[in-house]
């Protein structure tokens, strides 16, 4: 099968992903074999390609927002049919027995495996996934529009929940890519007033189109304090600025898997008055199921730019340089 494989990380401008003819994956007893129709492009994939994240294996096929039909299944799978369309997200498998798995925190399982990082992912014509970790995609979403929901949507939904934001409150979003452009639609559905901080003029336009009350850069004054904020941008220097803009008792949730160094914080200015700084690590299947059900009901609309499979490097470069609005998706089938 054709796949875009990472053998050695490097600057994305140097095209570290290479088109290869890889072996067809073989599903285990409890697995599904999925023919990939599309696969979303995530900032996490960029961090992998450029070496920001330590990789447990090389070579590896990235990609963890894959959508496509099931073409084979293991003998232990009875509740997913061949031909059924499924989605594959970042969380590939957990142990199911540790304290985290037994307390609805499987995202923190120390034995967890992740799609496109510890196992081969969706930048390929075929990919395997345990049936218990595959998602049924609402029929209202075509493949291309469904893909960004499987990571950007899910992690944004978890970040919203962990931020504690309530309807009628002011929410700040720092960075406005694939995840934030879904999160704003959920927040607006909940009745939140959303303020978007992004350097990209195009993304500022998109934010206003999606209902932002205000959009500007982090250096601009929004004229109000935030009850909660979510940082999608992997820029540690923005953390003190976002904390300083919180109302008393507010929470700043850091939704990225990687972030540059955070400058020193001033206790009185950034944290006192019971402000909270927290990270968002991965997501649970419950988050995924909740987001997909909500997405169908709102309904959420994803802004997508399509690239061919062999253009994965170009898609990641566009993500890095904020050269597109919304999400990038690879068309594979």
Q: What is the mean pLDDT of the chain?
A: 97
Domain limits, CATH 3.90.180.10, in the chain: 2-151+282-331
Q: How is residue 93 written in tokens?
A: 């498998």
pLDDT of residue 149: 97
Over residues 126-163, the pLDDT tens digits come to 999 999 999 999 999 999 999 999 999 999 999 999 99
Question: What is the model's pLDDT at position 325?
Answer: 87
Length in residues, the chain = 333
Q: What is the CATH number of domain 2-151+282-331?
A: 3.90.180.10
Angle at 300 between CA 246 and CA 309, to 5 degrees: 105
User: Can you identify the CATH homologous superfamily of domain 153-279?
Assistant: NAD(P)-binding Rossmann-like Domain (3.40.50.720)
The whole-angstrom separation of Cα 191 and Cα 19 is: 45
0.85 surpassed by pTM: yes
What stretch(es) of the chain map to CATH 3.40.50.720?
153-279
Q: What is the dihedral of CA 64, 36, 19, 312, to 10 degrees?
A: -50
Q: Is the Cβ–Cβ distance between 133 and 43 less than 8 Å?
A: no
Q: Strand pairing of 170-174 and 193-197? A: parallel
Residue carrying the six token digits 């939904």? 157
Q: What's the pLDDT at 182?
A: 96
Q: What is the DSSP letter of 266?
A: P
Phi–psi pair at 134, nearest 5 degrees: -95, 150
Cα 245 to Cα 170, 176, 192, 226, 271: the distances in Å are 11, 18, 17, 6, 11
Q: Which 8-state DSSP code applies to residue 124? A: B
Q: Give how far Cα 44 sits from Cα of 41, 162, 244, 276, Å.
A: 8, 20, 27, 25
**What is the 3-class SS of 39-85, one letter each residue?**
EEECHHHHHHHCCCCCCCCCCECCCCCEEEEEEEECCCCCCCCCCCE
| Residue ranges of the chain whose pLDDT lies below 50 | none
Q: How far is CA 269 from the centre of its chain?
A: 31
């Amino acid at each position: 099968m054709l796949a875009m494989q990472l053998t050695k990380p490097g600057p994305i401008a140097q095209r570290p992903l290479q088109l290869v003819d890889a072996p067809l994956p073989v599903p285990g007893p409890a697995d599904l074999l999925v023919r990939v129709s599309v696969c979303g492009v995530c900032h996490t994939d960029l961090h992998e390609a450029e070496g920001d994240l330590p990789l447990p294996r090389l070579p590896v096929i990235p990609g963890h927002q894959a959508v496509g039909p099931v073409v084979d299944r293991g003998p232990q799978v009875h509740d997913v049919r061949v031909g059924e369309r499924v989605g594959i997200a970042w969380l590939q498998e957990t142990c199911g027995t540790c304290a985290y798995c037994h307390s609805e925190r499987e995202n923190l399982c120390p034995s967890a495996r992740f799609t496109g990082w510890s196992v081969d992912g969706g930048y390929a014509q075929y990919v395997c996934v345990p049936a218990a970790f595959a998602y049924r995609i609402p029929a209202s979403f075509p493949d291309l529009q469904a893909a960004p929901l499987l990571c950007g949507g899910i992690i944004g939904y978890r970040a919203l929940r962990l931020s504690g934001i309530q309807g009628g409150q002011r929410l700040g979003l720092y960075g406005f890519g694939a995840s934030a452009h879904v999160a704003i639609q959920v927040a607006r559905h909940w009745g939140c007033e959303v303020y978007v901080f992004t350097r990209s003029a195009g993304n500022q336009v998109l934010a206003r189109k999606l209902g932002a009350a205000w959009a500007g850069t982090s250096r601009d004054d929004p004229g109000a304090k935030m009850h909660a904020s979510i940082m999608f941008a992997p820029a540690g220097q923005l953390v003190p600025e976002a904390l300083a803009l919180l109302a008393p008792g507010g929470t700043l949730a850091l939704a990225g898997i990687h972030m540059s160094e955070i400058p020193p914080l001033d206790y009185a200015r950034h944290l006192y008055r019971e402000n909270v700084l927290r990270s968002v690590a991965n997501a649970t299947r419950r988050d995924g199921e909740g987001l997909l059900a909500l997405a169908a009901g709102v309904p959420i609309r994803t802004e997508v730019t399509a690239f061919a499979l062999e253009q994965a490097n170009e898609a990641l470069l566009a993500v890095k340089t904020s050269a597109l609005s919304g999400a990038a998706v690879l068309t594979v089938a």
